[in-house]
């Protein structure tokens, strides 16, 4: 079971604001899904190597040659709050 506190903790990590109603619903839904998923926990797989990738490539590397960067206007064109050629954000509280 996923408790309410866990939902809030995970939402914090994911920077996801949840309404009170969403927190409740999420706790139930995640519990249901994880209950199903938990069945893989019963499989004996201690000696099995994990697969993070099916592609068997190594050393795919790029030559150190510059490409053309975006015009700054283009880079900033999609920004919600462009100021002085930069992307403006509200200040983080955690540092002073």
Touching another protein, residues 1-40 (CB under 8 A): 2, 6-7, 9-19, 22, 26, 29-30, 32-34, 36-37, 39-40
- Nearest-angstrom CA–CA distance, 28 and 14: 18
Other beta carbons less than 10 A from residue 27's beta carbon: 18
- Nearest-angstrom CA–CA distance, 54 and 8: 34
Interactions with another protein, residue window 62-81 (CB under 8 A): 62-67, 69-70, 72, 74-81
Q: Which is nearer to another protein, 24 or 86 (CB)?
A: 86
Asked if 76 contacts 87 with a C-beta cutoff of 8 angstroms, the reply is yes
Q: Which of 1, 4, 24, 89 binds another protein (CB under 8 A)?
A: 89
Q: Which of 4, 5, 24, 60 binds another protein (CB under 8 A)?
A: 60
54 lines the binding site for another protein (CB under 8 A): yes
Question: Partners of 21 in the beta sheet?
Answer: none
Place of tokens 């880079």: 75
Least distance in Å: CB of 24 to another protein? 13
């Amino acid at each position: 079971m996923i408790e309410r506190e866990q939902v809030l903790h995970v939402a914090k990590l994911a920077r996801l604001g949840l309404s009170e109603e969403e927190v409740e619903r999420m706790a139930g839904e995640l519990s249901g899904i994880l209950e199903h998923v938990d069945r893989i926990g019963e499989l004996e797989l201690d000696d099995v190597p994990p697969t993070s990738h099916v592609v068997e490539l190594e050393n795919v590397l790029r030559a150190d040659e510059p490409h053309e960067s975006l015009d700054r206007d283009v880079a900033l064109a999609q920004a919600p709050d462009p100021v002085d050629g930069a992307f403006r954000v509200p200040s983080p509280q955690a540092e002073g």
